[in-house]
């Protein structure tokens, strides 16, 4: 790929995204970077800034102030700490790469301080009863509903990411040993995770009776097929799961990731060790998995009811 002949911000962004793709970064990661850098570029235009040479620490201070004032269009809500940190990180990493590629003589954002991202907990955590309700609801919709059930059953049984599921091949499922190979993990890391016998039964049924209804010459070896007979696209998976969340009357938002949250939380509630949940989810850092210990409240409630004077008090108000 050729370096841009101009240091225009958007031309450099396009080059940067090509570099990210060449490094094998996940499509969701690249999509997020593109969206974040586009937001920065559009803001720069309002400041009459068009070239990466004009990106300075002072400019980033102004951008931080803008993000602090920004209101999300649909919710009319401010950005959370993690969102602001991510948007600033996108710019800092982008400028760092432009310096590494000799498009900038120096890295003006080398000493840029990022705000703390805090510790955001999952907003939509569904319990076992709610998940089972969604899974059962799919069976009202014929062949497509059965296909959707198998997709969501796999999400729930394994806790894998959306991108990991859409890249599954038929050979990645070992139905006899109840194992699943995740071959497109984050950072291109493969892992093998257990998958429940119930999920394997659904997949076996899907392969023999449901998948042939969708398969075409373009299907290849993809395990799960969209309505057009091709491998699912990430957005379509989210649309499908989100539709069942709404149809079941759930008041919380959520799509594919809700199964990941549910898997982690329910396993911890049932006594799983943190490092085993980390291995299931494919987290590189156990601190990421530890977030779920603050959502898993069963053990905390047991200790509270056994130890706190207010919970132990026999006095009741009537």
**Residues that are catalytic:** 161, 186, 257, 260, 283, 292
Write the DSSP assignment of the chain as a string of letters: -PPPSS-BHHHHHHHHHHHHHHTT--HHHHHHHHHHHHHHHHHHHHTT--BGGG--HHHHHHHHHHHHH-B-TTT--BPPHHHHHHHHHHHHHHHHHHHHTTSSSS-TTTTPPPPP---PPPS----HHHHHHHHHHGGGSHHHHHHHHHHHHHHHHH---HHHHHT-BGGGEETTTTEEEE-S-GGG--EEEE--HHHHHHHHHIIIIIHHHH--TT-TTBSSB-TTSSBPPHHHHHHHHHHHHHHTT-SS--SHHHHHHHHHHHHHHTT--HHHHHHHHT-SSHHHHHGGGGT--HHHHHHHHHH-HHHH------
């Amino acid at each position: 790929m050729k370096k841009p002949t101009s240091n225009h911000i958007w031309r450099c962004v396009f080059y940067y995204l090509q570099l990210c793709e060449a490094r094998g970064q996940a499509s969701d990661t690249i999509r997020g970077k593109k969206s974040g850098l586009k937001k920065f570029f559009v803001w720069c235009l309002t400041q009459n800034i068009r070239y990466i040479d004009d990106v300075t620490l002072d400019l980033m201070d102004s951008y931080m102030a803008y993000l602090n004032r920004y209101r999300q269009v649909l919710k009319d809500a401010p950005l959370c700490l993690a969102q602001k940190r991510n948007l600033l990180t996108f710019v800092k990493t982008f400028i760092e790469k432009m310096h590494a590629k000799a498009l900038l003589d120096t890295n003006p954002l080398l000493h840029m301080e990022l705000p703390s991202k805090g510790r955001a907990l999952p907003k939509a955590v569904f319990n076992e009863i709610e998940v089972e309700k969604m899974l059962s609801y799919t069976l009202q919709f014929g062949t497509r509903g059965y296909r959707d059930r198998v997709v969501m059953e796999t999400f729930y049984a394994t806790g894998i990411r959306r991108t990991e599921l859409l890249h599954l091949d038929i050979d990645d499922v070992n139905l006899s040993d109840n194992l699943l190979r995740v071959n497109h993990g984050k950072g291109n890391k493969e892992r093998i995770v257990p998958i429940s016998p119930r999920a394997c039964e659904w997949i076996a049924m899907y392969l023999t009776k449901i998948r042939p209804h969708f398969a075409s010459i373009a299907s290849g070896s993809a395990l799960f097929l969209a309505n057009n007979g091709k491998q699912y696209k990430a957005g379509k998976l989210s649309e499908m799961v989100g539709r069942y969340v709404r149809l079941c009357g759930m008041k919380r938002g959520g799509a594919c990731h809700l199964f990941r949250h549910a898997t982690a939380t329910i396993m911890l509630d049932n006594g799983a060790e943190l490092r085993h949940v980390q291995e299931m989810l494919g987290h590189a850092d156990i601190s990421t998995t530890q977030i779920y210990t603050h959502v898993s409240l069963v053990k905390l409630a047991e200790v509270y009811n056994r130890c706190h004077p207010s919970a132990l008090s026999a006095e009741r108000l009537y």
